[in-house]
Structure 1
Amino acid sequence: MNSRNNPAPRRWFALRTSAVALTILLTGCAYRDLKPQSHLQPPGDVDETLTRSGITLSPAAWPTQTWWTRFNDKQLDSLVNEALAQTPTLRAAAARVRQAGALEAIEGAALLPRLDATASTTRERFSANGTTPAPVKGTWQNVDQATLNVGYELDFWGKNRAAVEAAVGRRHALEVDSRAAALMVSAAVVQTYIDLNDTYAQLDVAQALLDQQVQIEQLTQQRFGAELDTQIDIKQSQASLPASRATIAALKEMIELNQNKLASLLGQGPDRGRSITRPQLRAGNSVVLPSQIAAELVGHRPDVVAQRWRVEACGHEIDVAKARFYPNVNLTAFVGLQSLAFDTFNDHSSRILGFSPAISLPIFEGGRLRGNLDAQDAAYDLAVENYNQTVVDALRDIADQLSSLRWLKERLAQQREAVDTAQAASDLVDLRYRAGLATYLQVLATQNATLVQKRQLVTLESRALSLQANLSRALGGGYRPEFPATVPALSTVVDHS
């Protein structure tokens, strides 16, 4: 009977098509109750903090990529560049980026057809009672075969494409992480260099005090020779010298420790640190801030951008998990030669050819697919909350620097006045002592008071340098994203939920 006149095959095809469509529809409904629960939060307002800081605002005041050059120290510039080129931390970050690129290539291979060739020769005895006909049955034969195999998965539901996008997001996150690591390395070098500068300044104060104490001790010896002072005054003048020399020794130790730390940050041994000379930092007092911190911060802080890419990657992983509920459609084919005798292997009649479309549909998998989707939803929520917390921490970091800069101005003004007052009192007591109108205890007391105030001033001046460096770091250190993280996968997540 002609199949064109028989409606049975058409009804059977329509029935099978409807069954497949119904199965796919029911499969899609199997995860409708699973969805992420977290949402990206916009950055908080910092307008009041910016206004109260008293710092000049400018739309273009984001740090440059070489933000450390504002300290006008050629040695510092060289050290930072050396650290960025040689430190193992950054080389490890680069290796992680290369690894992510390789994994991205692996995922991308699923979008392309697979082509491979096989060749084999098998010595085989065929069953006399099997399906092999005479005269081969019951005999030993050599089976020679060579095939060219082609396979391709039809990505109807976007599973493989989503996996590639997820891999791209992870690679971008690691690339931005490497920029964040570079920022941390450069900030650590600058801060250690500032600490080294502070230690040298403290050493200057301690050395000046020791020189003054030596002069006073010599003067006391002269006054004792003139019978103006007693042996007690000599002992008192000599007693302060060991303590001052011990302080100087401690500061010299700290200088070497800072040099060792710098050498380590450069990825070098301690001997490299001995070649680092005294810093010559000359940073200006003017600080300018960008006027749109909250709106633009997400694109200037590498740690924030990296977290955003991780959110995008997790969104695509959700798409992959959803696509696993639908059928897989694979096409395979092969063409080649097969022969029981090698001398007929190349004959036209030895050709073999095959084509095999295959569909696999999950029906009962014990909740594995739902569990996987639920886990990906939780991973997305975790990435979103990590992003939100990173933004909050970034804004707090900036606010901390602004608050410290604001109050440091007043502290510096008051501390300079305290140093001037203490120095004037010390000079006055020193003159009175030389004239025989004051005791050495009074001289020692005023010297110690002056030393304390000068040390505090040096510490505050070093703090001013640190705050300028920390503000540049908090503002992203001149980072500019090469590719924006727009998180397109979020729309997919919202639509499916």
Structure 2
Amino acid sequence: MNSCFSARRALLPALLALALAGCANPGGIAPHAQLREAASVGLPTAGAPAPADAPAQADAEVAADWWRAFGDPALDRLVDQALAGSPSLGLARARLARAQAAAEAADATLLPQLNADANLTRQRYTETGAVPAPLAGSVRETGLLQLSGSWELDFFGRNGAALQAALGSARAAAADAQAARALLAQQIVRGWLQLARTQDLLAVAERTLAQREQQRTLVIDRVSAGLDTRMEQYQAEGGLPETRQQIEALREQRTLARHALAALAALPPDALADAAPSVAALPAPALPAALPADLLGRRADVAAARWRVEAAVQDVGAARAQFYPNISLTGFAGLSSIGLNNLLQAGSLQWGIGPALHLPLFDAGRLRANLAGRTADLDAAVESYNGAIVGAVREVADQLASARSVALQQREQAAAQQAAEGAYGIALQRYRAGLGNYLQVLTAESSVLAQRRQQVELAARALDVQAQLAHALGGGVAVEPLPGTPLARR
């Protein structure tokens, strides 16, 4: 007997080793994508010398309410109203709440679970089954009052990895909500600037119409006096319908811009019918001269992409942990009896406790396929992050380049406008001195009006670049954990 027992003891480790050797394994499955470094996308690294013409780092910071730098109270109220009642932000908040709930559920898997059961039943026991006498054929009441509990011992980190993945997804959802806020603020500001541009161009077009009407009247008088021909009259009259068409097109653009802004702020279409901002009344905030070193840390969309990478890493860890044994403790204690009058007696007590182990041996490749899928998701998350940082750097570089170019164009346009206004002033002086006619004055004014149109376009473009740059630099948002959730506790 002792030799047989010894043989069994020697055989048990061999059988266990054989089972472990034959079980599913995660070998050969690994991610391939690599995170991009800051230097590879053109950002300065820590300790690298800054360009000689680069401003202090604070110059590139974007305030949370950066649009107030434009100095327009009506714009401030509109942005505040949009941020408070926009459906798109409400949707982002709902997604965040859903992600936080998933994190709470994942957090619960690490803690013991306790359940209470109560069951009172009246039943007739079969006479032809495995029920012994005197129960067979009788009608009895049965009762059960019991507490049961379980605790999965996370030796291999599967549940912990699942929790970290859920936390990463919640952090990504929080960053997405902030990114939606930054985008909405930018859309409101850019829409407001477009409305201001249209309003100023409409004023120039209306003055152009009045000028051309005066020009037509003078040409008609000159034709009547025999100084001009009908050709000059037709030419003067042909410019009027064209200018009226331009005015109507600008009025349409103004109306559509007001409707678009109202929709962004969740207002009725006609809520902004009286809004009439002016480009000239909106000052341009200062611009940074170079890419900020901490650009990637301040953009909410890049932060969201980075958190998704972290969540994908943890998902891979959870999928890998499924190849290892799952060990849990279960137990119960309570009262059970046949006949309700016996339920509360001491002899009705029952209890039990014990461990349970689950080890996957053969699953036809399900676990490996799951791990391969999670690994592919990780590669996709990494490449999405890489694309986000490349896009972020390009956006800032584009806006900085546009800002410099627009500034140079404004300088040249200002010189051209000064020359046009000088010619107009001389024509007006000659007319008042009797050395020229008023038609020459109106012709000179046409050049001035053309330069004013160009001035409005460039000024509006400069302000629009400011708005796009503020968004490209992060929009003034901060991605922080919210209180009262695992996101803030960990």
- Quote the residue 2:242 is aligned against: 243
- Quote the residue 1:347 is aligned against: 345
Provide the rounded CA distance (Å) in 2 between the counterparts of 1:214 and 1:379. 67
Provide the rounded CA distance (Å) in 1 between the counterparts of 2:80 and 2:400. 28
1:372 Cα deviation after fit = 0.4
* One-letter amino acid of the structure 2 residue matched with residue 473 of structure 1: H
Q: Does 1:45 align with 2:46?
A: no
Provide the rounded CA distance (Å) in 1 between the counterparts of 2:291 and 2:230. 69
Provide the rounded CA distance (Å) in 2 between the counterparts of 1:277 and 1:447. 25
Provide the rounded CA distance (Å) in 2 between the counterparts of 1:265 and 1:221. 50
Give runs of aligned pairs for residues 219-258 of structure 1, distance below 5 A.
219-220=218-219, 236-258=235-257
- Quote the residue 2:142 is aligned against: 143
Provide the rounded CA distance (Å) in 1 between the counterparts of 2:455 and 2:291. 34
TM-score (norm 2): 0.87
- Quote the residue 2:100 is aligned against: 101
Provide the rounded CA distance (Å) in 1 between the counterparts of 2:308 and 2:117. 41
Report if the CA contact (8 A) 1:72-1:283 is conserved: yes
- Structure 2 vs 1, CA of residues 476 and 339 (structure 1 numbering), >3 Å: closer, same or farther? same
Provide the rounded CA distance (Å) in 2 between the counterparts of 1:412 and 1:7. 101
Provide the rounded CA distance (Å) in 2 between the counterparts of 1:318 and 1:296. 29
- Structure 2 vs 1, CA of residues 81 and 319 (structure 1 numbering), >3 Å: closer, same or farther? same
> Deviations for 1:2-41, whole angstroms, at most 9, x for unmatched residues?
xxxx69768756764675467557758x213111111111
Provide the rounded CA distance (Å) in 1 between the counterparts of 2:237 and 2:429. 20
Provide the rounded CA distance (Å) in 1 between the counterparts of 2:21 and 2:273. 72
* One-letter amino acid of the structure 2 residue matched with residue 317 of structure 1: D
1:125 Cα deviation after fit = 3.7
- Quote the residue 1:32 is aligned against: 27
- Structure 2 vs 1, CA of residues 141 and 409 (structure 1 numbering), >3 Å: closer, same or farther? same
Provide the rounded CA distance (Å) in 2 between the counterparts of 1:478 and 1:278. 24
Report if the CA contact (8 A) 1:53-1:402 is conserved: no
- Quote the residue 2:114 is aligned against: 115
- Quote the residue 2:84 is aligned against: 85
Provide the rounded CA distance (Å) in 1 between the counterparts of 2:398 and 2:22. 54
SS of equivalent residue, structure 2 residue 118:
strand
1:242 Cα deviation after fit = 3.2
Q: Does 1:367 align with 2:362?
A: no
- Quote the residue 1:396 is aligned against: 394
Report if the CA contact (8 A) 1:426-1:450 is conserved: yes
- Structure 2 vs 1, CA of residues 285 and 308 (structure 1 numbering), >3 Å: closer, same or farther? closer
- Structure 2 vs 1, CA of residues 240 and 130 (structure 1 numbering), >3 Å: closer, same or farther? closer
- Quote the residue 1:309 is aligned against: 307
Give runs of aligned pairs for residues 373-388 of structure 1, distance below 5 A.
373-388=371-386
1:223 Cα deviation after fit = 5.4
| 309-318 or 110-119: bigger deviation | 110-119
* One-letter amino acid of the structure 2 residue matched with residue 96 of structure 1: R
1:378 Cα deviation after fit = 0.5
> Deviations for 1:53-75, whole angstroms, at most 9, x for unmatched residues?
99751121211111111111111
> Deviations for 1:99-136, whole angstroms, at most 9, x for unmatched residues?
11111111122112221122223344434465544322
| 412-421 or 228-237: bigger deviation | 228-237
- Structure 2 vs 1, CA of residues 52 and 410 (structure 1 numbering), >3 Å: closer, same or farther? farther
Give runs of aligned pairs for residues 74-473 of structure 1, distance below 5 A.
74-128=73-127, 131-220=130-219, 236-279=235-278, 281-284=281-284, 286-289=286-289, 293=292, 295-425=293-423, 448-473=446-471
> Deviations for 1:423-456, whole angstroms, at most 9, x for unmatched residues?
444555677789686796x777655544433322
The count of residues paired between Structure 1 and Structure 2 equals 475
Report if the CA contact (8 A) 2:69-2:285 is conserved: no
* One-letter amino acid of the structure 1 residue matched with residue 42 of structure 2: D
Report if the CA contact (8 A) 2:92-2:176 is conserved: yes
SS of equivalent residue, structure 1 residue 326:
coil
1:288 Cα deviation after fit = 2.8
- Structure 2 vs 1, CA of residues 451 and 14 (structure 1 numbering), >3 Å: closer, same or farther? farther
| 127-136 or 206-215: bigger deviation | 127-136
Point out where structure 2 has 5 or more consecutive residues left out of the alignment.
482-490
SS of equivalent residue, structure 1 residue 57:
coil
SS of equivalent residue, structure 2 residue 55:
strand
- Structure 2 vs 1, CA of residues 7 and 445 (structure 1 numbering), >3 Å: closer, same or farther? farther
1:225 Cα deviation after fit = 7.0
Provide the rounded CA distance (Å) in 2 between the counterparts of 1:344 and 1:285. 84
Report if the CA contact (8 A) 2:211-2:442 is conserved: no
* One-letter amino acid of the structure 1 residue matched with residue 66 of structure 2: W
Provide the rounded CA distance (Å) in 2 between the counterparts of 1:436 and 1:244. 30
Report if the CA contact (8 A) 1:314-1:376 is conserved: yes
Provide the rounded CA distance (Å) in 2 between the counterparts of 1:331 and 1:10. 30
Give runs of aligned pairs for residues 56-75 of structure 1, distance below 5 A.
56-61=54-59, 62-75=61-74
* One-letter amino acid of the structure 1 residue matched with residue 154 of structure 2: D
* One-letter amino acid of the structure 2 residue matched with residue 188 of structure 1: Q
* One-letter amino acid of the structure 2 residue matched with residue 38 of structure 1: A
Provide the rounded CA distance (Å) in 2 between the counterparts of 1:21 and 1:67. 65
1:168 Cα deviation after fit = 0.4
Provide the rounded CA distance (Å) in 2 between the counterparts of 1:52 and 1:215. 58
* One-letter amino acid of the structure 2 residue matched with residue 214 of structure 1: E
| 92-101 or 222-231: bigger deviation | 222-231
* One-letter amino acid of the structure 2 residue matched with residue 337 of structure 1: L
SS of equivalent residue, structure 1 residue 288:
coil
Report if the CA contact (8 A) 2:285-2:466 is conserved: no
Report if the CA contact (8 A) 2:20-2:361 is conserved: no
% same residue: 36
- Quote the residue 1:491 is aligned against: none
> Deviations for 1:316-338, whole angstroms, at most 9, x for unmatched residues?
00111011101111222222222
Point out where structure 1 has 5 or more consecutive residues left out of the alignment.
484-497
Report if the CA contact (8 A) 1:333-1:354 is conserved: yes
Provide the rounded CA distance (Å) in 2 between the counterparts of 1:342 and 1:70. 78
Provide the rounded CA distance (Å) in 1 between the counterparts of 2:291 and 2:238. 59
SS of equivalent residue, structure 2 residue 148:
strand
Question: CA RMSD, aligned part only?
Answer: 3.3
* One-letter amino acid of the structure 1 residue matched with residue 143 of structure 2: D
